[in-house]
Structures are given as C-alpha cells and as structure tokens.
Chain A
C-alpha cells in the first residue's frame, strides 16, 4: 500500500515538474497570487490566535462552536459553490492496476487537504488561541486536530455525492441552480436584515448538544465528559463510514460511458430524416444570415457547445449566477450605490469571466479535436477565429439579454440610460476581452476535458494578460465615468462610451492580423499543446 501511494505521489510530482518549466512565468504569478491569498488567511489565523485568549470563558463557550460550525460550512460548502474540489485521483486511469480500494481511498482522503487549505490555516489559529487562553488548561485544544480528519471524510463524501449527481443528465443543471441559490446566501445575510434575524437560530444550531461542531469544541475546552468524547468518536466513525460508502460507489463507476465505447440509442428510424431539436434550431439560426464557411463554422460551434453539459452549466451560471449573486449586493440595505447604478455592466462582465475560458481566452481547448480539422481543411485560420469570436458574441448577447431583462424586473433602478450604459460598457469589455483572448488562445492553448472538469481556471500567463487588459480598458471606461461626473449628463456618458466602443473595435481589428499570422505560423505548436493533459491526479476537478 505504502509503495503504491509513494509511486502515485512520485508520478504526480514528476508530472508537475515536467509541466512547470513550460509555464514558469504563469507559475510564478499563480504562486504570488496564492501567497497573497493564503497570506490573508494566515493573517486572519494570527488575529484569531491573538484575540481568542482575550475572550471571556462564557462567551468563548457560546461563540466558539458557532465558529466551528462556520468553519465546517466553509470547508464543505465553499468548494461546492466555487465548483472547485481540489486535487483528486484519476480513477479511470488507476483502476486498471492492482491497487486495493483502501489504498485509493487513503490517497483520495489525503488529497482532500487541497480542497480548503484556508480552513486548516484558520483552524490552526483557533487551536493556538485556545492553547493561550488563560481559562483553559493543558493540551486539550489539540484535540481540535480531530476536526481535520472529520472534515476530510465529510468532504470526500460530499465530493463523491456531487459527482454522482452531476453525472445525471438534467439533474446537474437543476443542481447548478440549487448551488447558485445557496451561494447567494452569504450576500443576503450580510446585506439584508435577514442575517440579524437568523443569528439566534444559527447560535442555537451551533450549540446543539451532540452536533459535531459543538462536541469537538467541548473536547477542546478540556475535561471532556463521556458525551463529548463519545459524540466525537461517533461522528468520526460516521463520517468514515459515509466516505467509504460513497467512494466505494466510485470504484465501480462506469468509465466507458460516453466515450464512444458503446452503442447509442438511435435518434430516428434508419433512412428517415432526423427531426431537428431545440439545439439544432438554435445552431442553424445564425447561419441563415451568413455564407459558408462562416455559417457552417458557427453552426458547428453553437451546436457542439450546447450539447456539452459542462458548457450548459457554466453558461447557465453566467446568466443566472451573475444576476442572483449581485442582486442583494446591488439592492440591499445600502440602496442606490455605484454597483446598483452600473448593475448591468458588472453582472455582464462577471458572466463573461465565467464563460471566458471556453468562449474567449482558450477557444481551441474545449473542442480540441476540432482544431485539428481546422488545420487540414481548406479553411483560413482567420475564418475559424472570426467564427469563434462570432459564437462568443452570440452567447454574450444572449447573456446580456437575460441580464437586461432581469434588470427591468427589478424596477427600482432600471432606468434606460443606466441599462444602455451597462450594455455599452459590456460591449467595450467584450471587445477588449476578445482581443486578449485571441492572443492567449493561440499563444497559450490548453486542453480542457469537458467531461472531467467542472471548472478550470485560466492559465497563469492568460491571467497576466487579463490583468493587463483590465488596466487597459479601465482607462477609456474610467474617462467616460469622469465625463459624466464632470458634466452630470447621461448623454455625455453614453457618447463617451460610444467613442470607447469604436476605440475597442479598432483595437480588436488591429490586433487580429498579427494574431492570425501567429496562428498560421505556429499551428504545429498549437496542436502539440492541445494534445496534452492527463495526469494520475486531476488538479482542480
């Protein structure tokens, strides 16, 4: 068992080492961002360690279990909300080897540590604070370390359950809506009076006897009674049983499904024409106004994207998540604010960031096999790229329609000038994104597995380019806001944005030619880059 675990870890280490030198700048940038991010949590943990000893003992007993409940929710729910479940084994590749299920379970459990390192940092701060508390004696707070295996086991069970649900057709879309609904809760709680009203209930739940967060906290306070010790053991055993049960289900999962290995139900009788479905109707619509090859290319893009569950989920998120998440922020207790006034622009930009990896800054990565075809058919690279850009424009236009419709359903601030301004800003942002995206798609193409990955971040270099684009487009957009502030006139603002749109269009047009030349020149490298992407451990499934 130990040898196999070491071999898997060794292979993963070699994989990362083989991969990193090719993206050293990107890796450095990601490292820097991670340092800042985890540094913030480290700072919070440090604050917790310093503050906890000053909390009176009775207050500590009331509020510490609440913190423990919050930590558990963060540990379990946050990765689900962000669709980020850390590193995990590529079971479809490892199951062909003689590895015991318990070995895979152990590795998978250890990998759960990557799901939420923030929680570990905060927990360490809590333990340090309790150890330094004058009212608590001995090393009892160290028993809080048992909260780590408990959370890892729960995390594993949650992940396996989510993956099973996400594999079911249609259910994954419903699930996505549920996740979206849950994710709006923190905003609702902090921006409306709901949080204050729910606080007593939360405290009541946090101090419920027998609950894991309460009993683990009681253990840490020292002198554990039989109830606390028994409950902690029970919860650990229960979490272990649950995780084992869910993981065992994954070991017998059918990895050949959907890989072309089996027969498919015929859609019609042989010889009879297939009745077009909604996807087909949507896909052929833009092609009616264009000539081939553009019409054919866009039709292919739209239909293949709409048939990919992962794209449906992220596009649904772009339309709904962005609307819902900004709703309480924009229209909460603060009332009219900058965010509320520029709601459409913010929401649309956020939506573009969600679909960006597929539609804008890695356009060949999602359907990488099709890229091969583009290079062998007598289709100019320019035509392919323009068709992909047109497809992105189509989906962003659909998303904008949803956002604008939603803004009119919120009648308080949906004045037409604000909406028009929002749409213009979105168009400017989109053109800048496209310009940068065309370059990054060709310079840093990366394979994305639509059936394995629920969410994948843009690469480090792409993020660096995006950062540059944010700065670049902030200038013209900022100038438009400045013009409105100086004149107090909406029409000046809109006129300035129209000029920005023209400038963004020019930027897009000028950037197109060198990018296309690079694409033609470096097609071999692009194909090479798109053909990679299989590790023993999936990073960020």
Chain B
C-alpha cells in the first residue's frame, strides 16, 4: 500500500493537529459533504426519521449519535439509497439523492451494518469485487486488496471466507472495502464494534488521516469516549429528531452542561432512566 493511499498506523498521535472543518484546501468553498433538510422516513406509520436537518462540512469528522432505534442506521441507508425518504432532501457533495445516486455512490466508502457483506467470498475476493464495482482495473483491484488485507492483518488465512470471520474481522474487511476506491466521504455504521484495541487504533488513525486530507467521515458509534476524542462536530438524535448539534463546546452550551463529558451530555439530552424502586432485586 502506497503512502499516498493510506496513513501509516504507527507513531502518529491519535488526534493530530487539525484545522477548523470546512476551511481547508480545495474544499474550502465547496458544498457541504452532507446536507439533510427536513428528512422524514416512516415505518408502519411511525417516524424513524422525523424532520432531520443536518449539515456536515467537508473535511469534518462528524459523530452521529443516538440511542438504539433513534434513526441513525435509517439515515445512513437513506444516504446510500437503500431507503427512500418520505419527504425532505438529501444532498451529498452538492449532488441530490436519489437523483444523482450513481455519482454519489462513487464518492462514498461505506462500512455498513453486518448484513451487506458477501459471506461466501474470501476476504481478498470480496475486496477485489468491491474494487471492481467502483471501476478499478483488475490488477489495481488485486494489488490494493492484497495491501489492505496485509494492513488489516487479514492476510493470514487466505482461504477463510468472510462468513467464517469473527465480528471484528468482518468490520475490518468492511473498512478495507470502504477504503479501496479512495472515496471522499466515509459513512461508518458502528465501525469499531467488536474490533480489538490494536485494530480499532489502526482504523482511527486511518480515518483521521483521511480527514486531514480533506475527506469527510460520518460516523455512528455508541462508544462516546471515542466519538468525543475523534469528532470535530457531532449531533445527538432521538426519535428521528436532532436534539443538539455542533462542536463539543457548542453541545455543552446547548445542553447547559458547562464542563460535562459527551456521555453526560448524551444522557442528559436523551434522558436517563433510573432503576425503579420496586426492582430492588436488581
């Protein structure tokens, strides 16, 4: 893997010195990476996403947070065109979805939930397949697949099928697939779930390097400490609505929590539920 493609994982600090998102390089004056306006999506008459409005600047590491069922995965699925919004608009890099879906998808690197992998392919075959879907020539696809497998330490068992991978290995191969075509925007649904500390560190370093180059990361995670350390901006949603959005400082202001951690802000905004008194056996 050439240095131009991926960051070296080793001695870099976890959070490098970064400029203000949206203010750097060639993308400074470009359209935001993601613009969601009054986005709505209902299932069985209940809104999973209810009037969501978010703007993610280019070159931003954006944390998209919320409790289970808040609408995070549905939003990502709408961003890639797997779900159709009931109303509202989506623009990715200035391109309207789903009208410009083809162009949008070319720019996206997706770490999906677990269901979108092909279980009966080996890791190398899966990566080559994904690369070819993005139009990479076969020799390039093969070479990059080999390099990425080595980088993510998945090259030890060449004949192992993706279906035989552990959860962490599946996430790593999904991450490798998201990187293989050098996208401008990364959509990551719980990318660190089940990944060991070394693997997670590698993934974080790579993502930070991508952001440093002006690419955008849109990340969902329940590990709030990680989000707090990585993300420039974040939004907390619940019941499909944005509760607060901004930098950590802005979130503290909005949540009226002067020096609280992201976890404290999250719990305050989403609403913590104490254990009821009659459940004393707990």
Contacts and interface: CB of A to CB of B under 8 A. Distances in A.
Contacts of A256: 73-74, 77, 82-83
Contacts of B164: 528, 531-532
Contacts of B130: 97
B44 A265 contact: yes
A274 B115 CA distance: 31
A95 B81 CA distance: 7
Given A92-B82, A97-B134, A255-B83, A263 B43 contact: yes
Interface in B52-83: 69, 71, 73-74, 77, 80-83
A432 B121 CA distance: 37
Nearest to A18: B120
A429 B165 CA distance: 40
Nearest to B106: A98
Contacts of A263: 43, 46-48, 69, 71, 239-240
Contacts of B135: 3-4, 98
Given A264-B46, A535-B118, A252 B73 contact: no
B74 A262 contact: yes
Interface string A80-111: 00000000000011111111100000000000
B112 interface: yes
A18 B164 CA distance: 12
A277 interface: no
A533 B119 contact: yes
Chain B contact surface mostly: mixed
A98 B119 contact: no
B46 A11 contact: no
Contacts of B121: 11, 14-15, 18
Contacts, number: 126
Interface stretch (B5-13, B97-105, B225-233, B248-256): B97-105
A261 B41 CA distance: 11
Interface in A1-45: 3-4, 6-7, 10-11, 14-15, 18-19
A259 B82 CA distance: 12
B163 to A, nearest CB: 4
B44 A98 contact: no
A149 interface: no
Contacts of B105: 96-98
A99 B133 contact: yes
A11 B69 contact: no
A534 B115 contact: yes
Given A96-B105, A96-B110, A262-B48, A4 B132 contact: yes
Interface of A: 3-4, 6-7, 10-11, 14-15, 18-19, 92-100, 252, 254-257, 259, 261-266, 528, 531-536
Interface of B: 41-48, 69, 71, 73-74, 77, 80-84, 98, 102-103, 105-106, 108, 110, 112, 115-122, 125, 129-130, 132-135, 161, 163-164, 239-240
14 contacts: A4-B132, A4-B133, A7-B133, A11-B125, A15-B118, A92-B116, A95-B81, A96-B108, A99-B133, A252-B84, A256-B83, A528-B164, A532-B164, A535-B119
The 3 closest A-B pairs by CB, nearest first: A262-B48, A7-B132, A262-B43
